[in-house]
Chains A and B, each alone.
Chain A
């Protein structure tokens, strides 16, 4: 079946540090991969996505590359800011399973000045 395994948190970084949040997936078909972000008190919102192998999604300085050979979609940012403090969810969706979305457990990031 489909599943997402995400790096456990919480993660605490100093401002301008490099961020990596690991995400690996298991899928029966050819899924699309997503990173969602949840800021305190808000709903989830799409951060970036990739729909096929070797695609790179990017937004707000964050990047993730769809690696089929390692079944991974790690999130990276070169220099985090305090405003990046949030919970990050890796997710996949597959047309073979009726476009259902499968989420990882989330990684809480706190950036300190």
Chain B
């Protein structure tokens, strides 16, 4: 059974039209991450939540926002998508309880196309 679920799997939007991607988890993990993955590149961390604490990467554009209304859900909002934002967006979770880093659990990703 899937433990990290992303919706939608495929999203097509128009240039400048806001889009929201969702992620839910059944693992009760403290930490939720959003990564952007472009073709043939490493996943790039956009931001993560440790419980309710939001941690933004310094180079994440302001166009990208996130919300975590509760432990189970996290959303990625792209306010005005540009052509360069077309990518696979990966949600991941980890326990984040300190000590040795635990593994990341990934969803299957949401592929965004911008027309």
Contacts and interface: CB of A to CB of B under 8 A. Distances in A.
Interface of A: 4, 31-32, 34, 36, 41-46, 49, 51, 89, 93-95, 98-101, 103-106
B101 A32 contact: yes
B101 to A, nearest CB: 4
Interface in B26-53: 31, 33, 40-43, 45, 48, 50
B99 A34 contact: no
Given A32-B101, A93-B101, A95-B101, A44 B4 contact: no
A43 B42 contact: no
29 contacts: A32-B100, A36-B104, A36-B106, A41-B108, A42-B108, A43-B4, A43-B6, A43-B108, A43-B109, A44-B43, A44-B92, A44-B106, A46-B103, A46-B104, A46-B105, A49-B103, A51-B100, A51-B101, A93-B101, A94-B101, A95-B101, A98-B50, A99-B96, A101-B92, A101-B101, A101-B104, A103-B42, A104-B42, A105-B40
Contacts, number: 60
A46 B104 CA distance: 7
A101 B109 contact: no
Contact of A99 (B43, B101, B107, B109): B101
Contacts of B50: 98
B11 interface: no
Contacts of A89: 42-43
B58 to A, nearest CB: 12
A95 B101 CA distance: 6
Given A98-B55, A99-B96, A106-B42, A44 B90 contact: yes
A94 B98 CA distance: 10
A32 B94 CA distance: 14
Interface in B1-39: 4, 6, 31, 33
A89 B40 CA distance: 11
